[in-house]
Amino acid sequence: MSDEPLPPRIRVEALQPAFAAEAAQWAERLGLPLDGAADFVLQLGEQGLQLSELGPGAPGPVRVDFVEGAAAHRRLFGGGSGQMIARAVGVQPGVRPKVLDATAGLGRDAFVLACLGCEVTLIERQPLIGALLADGLARAARAPEIAPIVARMRLLQGDAIALMRQWQDEPPQVIHLDPMFPHRDKSALVKKEMRLFRPLVGDDPDAPALLAGALALASHRVVVKRPRKAPCIEGPKPSYSLDGKSSRYDIYPLQSLKG
């Protein structure tokens, strides 16, 4: 018998009858059933698409919301271009680099950069997370105050290493990477999301190949977000790092960013 854990069982459901047809479309798109036993459920309702774990003690649902909640608070009070991610990617007076976020996740970092005026391409390879992100972007595009921001965000779904290798557009000036790592962030929100996504995503054993692909494609800089005490990704060493309380940014400069 194999010791490999079984893949999680996932189904799709509509939270209200009015969303049944759209839920069926998501199920078909993702190749998931609409009924049967499951460990996770992708639910569609008035607040959009959300992912929930089933069973006792499960955390609450996770959805992407760029309009309200934490994203709105960070947009209004997060510190603008003084934020560590802004400094890491090279935001400065007259400089708003074009960024590829190759490990987009729920899009929080990409949204911060888009708020600051950067054009951001997002890549997410996990189909369920990609679905949450696509739904969040679509809802944000209908909010007049947020629509101009998410208009600067373009989502690609697929394997970032393959997509970077096949890149046809103008190379991004900056590539941002945040590979999955055994995070020890103590915030309840991150713990909830990590618990939910870990069985679906796992760690990123291909992080060295991701870094190599980013260094081959970026025109100006590669930025890698890491837990503060985690080792650097295997491969070339960063030129310098920016350290925060719980995380840091390893910077791999290729050429200067100028206005």
Q: Distance between alpha carbon 113 and the CA centroid of its chain, in Å? A: 12
Q: In 78-232, which ranges are continuous DSSP H helix?
A: 84-89, 108-115, 127-140, 147-150, 160-165, 188-201, 207-217
Give dist(CA 257, CA 92) in Å, integer: 9
Crossing angle of the two packed helices 108-115 and 69-77, in degrees rounded to 10: 40
Q: What is the largest CA-CA distance in the chain?
A: 60
Residue 109 counted as an annotated binding residue: yes
Residue 119 counted as an annotated binding residue: no
Residue 108 counted as an annotated binding residue: yes
Residue 178 counted as an annotated binding residue: yes
Distances (CA, A) of 252 to 211, 219, 237, 256: 10, 11, 8, 11
Q: What is the DSSP string of 215-238?
A: HHH-SSEEEEEEETTSPPPSSSPP
Binding annotation: 108-109, 124-125, 178
Binding annotation for S-adenosyl-L-methionine: 108-109, 124-125, 178
